[in-house]
Structure 1
Amino acid sequence: MDCFVTKQKMTGANHLVWELNTLRIEIILCIRQKTWLAGKRADDGAEGLWRIHDDLYDFCSFVNDHPGGREWLSLTKGTDITEAFESHHLSQVPKKMMGKFFVRKARQARNSPFTFHENDFYDTLKKKIYKELPNIPKAPAARSKFLADILFFCYLSAALLAAYFKSFTIGTAAGIFLCLTAVAAHNFFHQRDNFRMYYFDFTLLRSRDWRISHALSHHLYTNTVNDLEISSLEPFLQYLPTKKHFVIRYMSWIYSPLFYAFIYIGQFTKNLTEIMITGQGFTWEMLLPFTVPILMVAITKEVTYVVIMFLWIIVVSSIHFGVVGLNAAHHHPDIFHDGDTPRSKEEMDWGIYQLDAVMDRKDITGSHFLVLTNFGDHALHHLFPTIDHGLLEHMYPVFLETCKEFGIEWKLSSQFELIKGQYRQLAKTIPNRYPPKALVKEN
């Protein structure tokens, strides 16, 4: 099935990633992850290899030995993985071993304006965090695993009890537990391959797809036109400041919960349709969510009722997932969105940009459970996505010290303010005229 493809030349200084200081590229916007990757392969100048900064590498012989799992490299072959490489590796060891995979210099300049210069903000913060890691207790990471396991057990138990007692109240609880399980599982699909990442697949979504749309797209190019979590919501929800129809600006406040209700089902239907038409794309994880209704039928012997109850659980969970996810950190008029005036070329440090595109919630930060199940400690998670959520709270002293050193603002608000801001951003049509606060480094 051909997906809807939008091609556009991004012109003007306000389009951060796609034109900055005479840089022009043509980008393909599509909700399908494979098409997004195909667009990057066409635009990134990686020449069928892996590009990091201005160098090309051949990791074919290393794919199966990659400590994070083969999927990360197999997905990204033929693309520029600079942002992913820098944010996924704190140690200097990977950089030291890359020489044996070096092929040649790239023939064209990088499309992305983001920089990773030595001793700039992100490089400095990475070095400090890596030095601090041995002093951080390991128990919170083990607690994250325990919480994810407990949440999954609660989902499974509640789903079976809902079927047995024919209770939609218990079914609602099962839906909430499923959402909490999925958000907790998000912590694990950022890391090396592990079984807990597949808890996410019980929602009808696929962790493999989200490694592309979330980890490789949203995390690396947050709130830009190359962020699949922006483009895949359009035209129903439009967060970038541009000309919008009245219905999109204000009626989306009303119909967005209905949109949330079909996040899971819509994505699964799209995947299933593609498989039926192309004969490709099926993975064993797609069967995981249906193990639960099979168990429900085994208990009740009533297929029709179980189908209704399972759909109820899925819809409840999908709504909760949409509410939590879209109000977590990124959509507020004070947060940078593509179209707003960006920082100067000299301030295009990737870590600084991540803080421009994030706003944390003071009523979530500080609680391990809330952070794990509500996309908490979001700024630190974006800066260090492979580090377990349970460890992030121990990094704040170093993080805040480095922000102060470089004059970088860490935006902290409340959940209620972000919910209000999300609706204001939907209605916003005029980009911010002024760039985020200029960098003022301490002497």
Structure 2
Amino acid sequence: MIAPQSLRFDRGAIHEIKKTLLKKKTMPTPDDLNYLPTMPTRRDVPIGCIGSGFIMADCHLVAYRQAGFHPVAISSRRLDRAQQVADQHQIESAYDCYQRMLEDTRIEVVDIAVPPDVQLDIVRDVVRHPHIRGILAQKPLAGNYADSQRIVQLCADAGITLCVNQNMRYDQSVRACKSVIDRGMMGEPVLATIEMRAIPHWMPWQSRQGWMTCRIMSIHHLDTMRYWFGEPERVFASFRTDPRTEFPHQDGIGLYILEYASGLRCMICDDVWAGPSREGAAEDIGIRWRVEGTEGMARGTIGWPRYPERAPSTIDYTTTKSNQWHRPRWNEVWFPDAFAGPMAELLVALESGCEPAMNGVDNLRTMALVDVCYQSAAEHRAISLLTT
């Protein structure tokens, strides 16, 4: 028998129970944030792959097989390398040159993974083949804006759908943040930052470019700011060389400020030196981002620097209405899982007859922003994008 006094109504306790239940009810799941790409209805579109380096062999093709896509041919400068990757990923045909591969009329989509200074010549050859309907091209689209524009025009003239592989847009935390921004959960954006402390593995072909970080690494972060917020009005960039990199380059460590008409300011720090950890000091490696708005904040990490360890990127966010941090999590990672996103986007575009979001014209805006950053750093002044 329960004593009557033990049944007294404890308003404080009931209020705390309600708060706990409300928190559980409103805690978002990863699926609520649309962090995964939209997949095409038809996943068996025949794909021909040009290039057999790390990005193709360890990222594109791994992600494509996981997604159920259908690469049927691959080419490389060395037949033995093409055959090795073909065997690794169960690809039917291997070629010692891409020109021979392009004669394969099964192929409807071409996936290009080559250095930017040779991509224009390859696209010139691809667009001559009427059975090709779509091209997924690497970022940077070319070594400069003018050559990028030529690629976009070649595809437009040939009626070929072009999608540019700005794959950081498919990093899971970047997409989740975009979802939070688009839903207005943070109110008006006030300040956004991306801070990278990482030591990339520079490719041998970069030694002939004379440039390094801005077109290879910072292009991801500059494009992410465009993806989140649209076009800035003005940019200031400052570079210094990386003490560790031996080949000549003008842009090692890169600092960027983007100014928006709304008053939003974005700051990017791309530190590819990250201290003398390779020379014996302790290591502090990572990428962190943060977006602050008038009604909320989001912060996150990018797991890529820990590759080949599977380290998912993360997002935490809070709003003035929730008064708590929401921390949805997932198992997918940028490298290699997110590389299915750009190809999925291209295949969906071919199905729907619409342009992919990462189309050539959109990417020209990213390339223009990159070129303006080089100009700003060279002239030691902020550059308006309205006059470029």
TM-score between the two structures when normalised by the length of structure 2: 0.27
Looking at secondary structure, tell me which structure has more helix per residue: 1
TM-score between the two structures when normalised by the length of structure 1: 0.24
Looking at secondary structure, tell me which structure has more strand per residue: 2
**Which protein is bigger by CA-based radius of gyration?**
2
